[in-house]
Amino acid sequence: MIQSEKQKKELILLKKTLYSLMLSDEVVREADRLAHQMGTNRSNLINQILAEYLGMTTPQRRINDVFQAIVEAVAPYGQLVPFFAPNDLTMSLKSSLEYKYRPTVKYEVELYESGEGSIGELSVIFRTQSAALISDMTDFFRLWHKTEQKYLPRRGVVNVNYALYDNKFCRSLAVPHKDFTPQELAGAISAYIELFDELMKGYLSGRYSAADIDRRYGEYAARQNIII
């Protein structure tokens, strides 16, 4: 298993502190009702309302913007079905493998509100009873790790963390070396997942060899503006 300590990175620095506020019972009841409707809590809702009123962007809103941009970015690829709920810090994208019974793979993208060293984590989750498929996917994950260790340092990307569990492969998302907009970050995440999805399917079907994976990843690393 390849694993090290998870690190986190703020998408936008907004420190949170506990404050006491005098609010009317009616306002609190309405805030709780709306927060429940939106899938969040009272504090997050009030923080978001105040931030919008003051013309500020909360980390949660920025993450929502990234997820929405990912939905739009993966549409032309046509192989991923994205889903996320407003105010959630995780989104999922489902894909069907070119394999007997068309098993599905779920990509989970988690973005962090705060922390250091990483902006989030990508998890690749697959559920199958086929020992052959599990073995082949494990081989691909190890090949992917080896390939990234070859090319990422050339772009100055180090300290990427990996973990391989039963039916799950995790990789931290590196902090870009340049400032980025939500749309640019979404484009980088989308491009990475699309490449991973295409090459994994090609490897499992026998269309792509290890040399093909190396070549395609090298081309991706050379042309990509933002490496995560």
CATH classification (class only), 17-56: mainly alpha
- According to the model, what pLDDT value does residue 8 have? 36
Report residue 15's pLDDT band, with 50, 70 and 90 as the boundaries: low
Are 86 and 64 a contacting pair, CB within 8 Å? yes
Pick the range with the lowest mean pLDDT from 5-14, 43-52, 132-141. 5-14
Distances (CA, A) of 11 to 62, 116, 129: 8, 10, 38
Task: Supply φ then ψ for residue 143, to 5 degrees.
Answer: -65, -40
Task: Supply φ then ψ for residue 120, to 5 degrees.
Answer: 170, -160
pLDDT digits (tens, 9 = 90+) for 152-187: 999 999 889 999 998 999 999 998 888 889 999 999
Q: How many CB atoms lie within 10 A of CB 223?
A: 8
- According to the model, what pLDDT value does residue 51 have? 72
Does position 3 have pLDDT exceeding 50, yes or no?
no
What DSSP character marks residue 169?
Answer: E
pLDDT digits (tens, 9 = 90+) for 87-104: 889 999 999 998 878 899
- According to the model, what pLDDT value does residue 178 have? 80
Domain map of the chain by residue range? 17-56, 59-223
Is 59-223 in CATH node 3.30.70? no
Does position 16 have pLDDT exceeding 80, yes or no?
no
Provide the H-helix boundaries in the chain.
Answer: 25-38, 42-53, 59-74, 131-151, 182-205, 210-223
